[in-house]
Chains A and B, each alone.
Chain A
C-alpha cells in the first residue's frame, strides 16, 4: 500500500463568485513528483496555496502525514516557492545568503540564534545550488534562473520532505529551465523529497515528474505523466 503523506478530502474554494473547484479528493504518495498542469485560471495556484496553508479552503480538509492541516505543526517538513517571488521586490536590499538563511527559521524558535549547524546548512545549500560565488549579491541583481535557484535553496535549506512549487520556471530562459528541472529531478530521486509542482512546460515536466495532475476546476486527470503528455499532444489540456 502506498504511503500517502498528503491527502485532500472534499476540498472546495470559492472567491465569492462561484466555486473554483468543489469536492476535490486527492492522494499524494511519499516520493512522488507530481506535475500539476492545466489552463490559466483552472485553479492550480489556488490548490497549491491551500496545500501550503497560504489560503484557507472554503470547505474540505487537507491532511499532512495523517494530521488535519490545522493540527499540523511540523512546517519544517514543507518547502514552498511562490510564483514570481521577486515580482514586486527588484530593489529589495537582501543578499543571497540572507534569503537562504531565512529558510531555517522555525515557528517555535523565533529567538534562536544561528549556530554552527545552521551556518553549515546555509553553506551546503549555497554549494548545492551553485550560489557560493553569488552569496553577497543583492537578489534583485540576479537573473531569473539564478533567483529561482536562490528560492529553491531557501526552500531546501532545512531539508524538507515535501516541496510545493508554483510555476518555478516562469520567466526564465530555456537553458535555465532545463537545468532547473534536472535539479528538481535529482532532489526527488536522490533525496526522496515529494514534489508538487505547477508547470506549463509539459515536455520538461514529463521528464522530471513521476505523475501528473490535470486541474480544470476539479481533477480531470490523475495518473502517469507520459500519458498526460500524449493526451495533451493530441487534444490539448484535459476537459471533463
Chain B
C-alpha cells in the first residue's frame, strides 16, 4: 500500500480520485433524487461535442467542453421547467444531439487533436499538478455551495412546487445546480473520463439509497460509498494492472449489490407501513390505518 503511494503520479491520482469521490456523489445526490440520473451522461455527450469543436477550431478542450456543457445544462434546465412532463425525452434528445455534433465535428477534423480514449475513460494515472488544482478548486466550490444552500436544495429536491410557494428562488437555485453539474462533468473529464464522472454521480447514491433513512444520511453515505469505491477501485487497478476507470465503476457496482442485500435485510426488520409506535396506539394495541 505504502509502496503505491511513494510514486508522485500515484499521489496525484489518489488525491484527484478522492476529491472526485466526494464531489460527484454530493452533486449526484440531488440529481438522482430529482430523477435526473442520466443528466451526467447527457452532459458528457455534450462535453464530447465541445471537445471535438475545440479540436476543430484549435481551442482548449477543457474550455470548449466547459462552455458546451454550461450552455447544454442551462438549456436542459430551461426546457425541464417548461416541459416537466417530457423531461426525460428532452434529456434524451440533448443526449443524441450532443453525440451527433461530436460525430460531425470529429469527421470535419482531419488533423486529430484529441484522444477519444482519454475523454471517455480519463487518465487518472497522468494527472498533472494543474489538473489537481482545478479539481481541488471545483471540489471546494461544490462543497461550499451545498453547505451554504443545503436546506433550500433539500426543499426543491423533495418538493419543488412547495419550495416555490414558500418564496424560495427555485429557478436560480436550479440554474446554479445545473451550472455546477456542467462544470463537474467538463473539468473532471480529462482526469476520470466522461463515463466515470456520470457513474460516480449515480452509483454511490444508488448504494446509499438502499440503506439511508434520511436526506442527510443519503448524502453522507453516498460520499462514504464514493470514497470506499475509489479506494478499492484504485488499489485493485494498481495491483492487478487494470484501467482505473473500469475497476472503480465495477467496484461501485459490487458495493451496490452488497448495499441492496443490506437494504433488503433492514427492510425485513422494519414495521409495516403505517404502523405507529406512539404511546396512544401502543396502549390501545392498534395501528394507524393506511
Partners in one complex: yes
Quote the shortest CB–CB distance from A223 to chain B (angstroms). Answer: 28
Number of interface residues of B (CB under 8 A): 38
B7 at interface by CB-CB < 8 Å: no
Say whether B214 contacts A107, CB under 8 Å.
no
Say whether B273 contacts A73, CB under 8 Å.
no
Interface residues of A (CB under 8 A from B): 52-54, 73, 75, 78, 80, 82, 85, 89, 91-95, 98-99, 101-103, 105-107, 110-111, 130, 132-134, 136-138, 141-146, 154, 164, 172-173, 175-176
With A54-B165, A132-B278, A176-B289 as given contacts, are A111 and B215 in contact (CB-CB < 8 Å)? no
23 A-B pairs with C-beta separation under 8 A: A73-B167, A75-B165, A85-B162, A89-B159, A93-B212, A94-B154, A94-B158, A95-B213, A98-B154, A102-B151, A102-B163, A106-B167, A110-B168, A130-B280, A133-B277, A133-B278, A134-B278, A137-B213, A138-B214, A143-B288, A143-B290, A146-B276, A146-B288
Interface residues of B (CB under 8 A from A): 33, 148-149, 151-152, 154-155, 158-159, 161-169, 208-209, 212-218, 270, 273-274, 276-280, 288-290
Q: Inter-chain contact count A-B, CB under 8 Å? A: 114
With a CB–CB cut-off of 8 A, which chain A residues contact B161? 54, 82
For the A-B complex with A82-B161, A143-B290 known, give 11 more contacts whose Cβ atoms are closer than 8 Å: A80-B166, A85-B159, A89-B158, A93-B213, A95-B213, A102-B151, A102-B162, A105-B163, A136-B214, A138-B213, A141-B274
CB nearest to B280 among chain A residues: A130
Say whether B288 contacts A105, CB under 8 Å.
no
Q: How far is the CA of A173 from the CA of B216 in the complex (A)?
A: 32
CB nearest to B216 among chain A residues: A98
With a CB–CB cut-off of 8 A, which chain A residues contact B288? 143, 145-146, 176
Say whether A95 contacts B215, CB under 8 Å.
yes
B273 CB contact (under 8 Å) in A98, A105, A142, A176: A142
Say whether B213 contacts A107, CB under 8 Å.
no
Say whether A102 contacts B158, CB under 8 Å.
yes
Q: Give the top 3 A-B pairs by smallest Cβ distance, nearest first.
A: A143-B274, A75-B167, A143-B290
With a CB–CB cut-off of 8 A, which chain A residues contact B154? 94, 98, 102
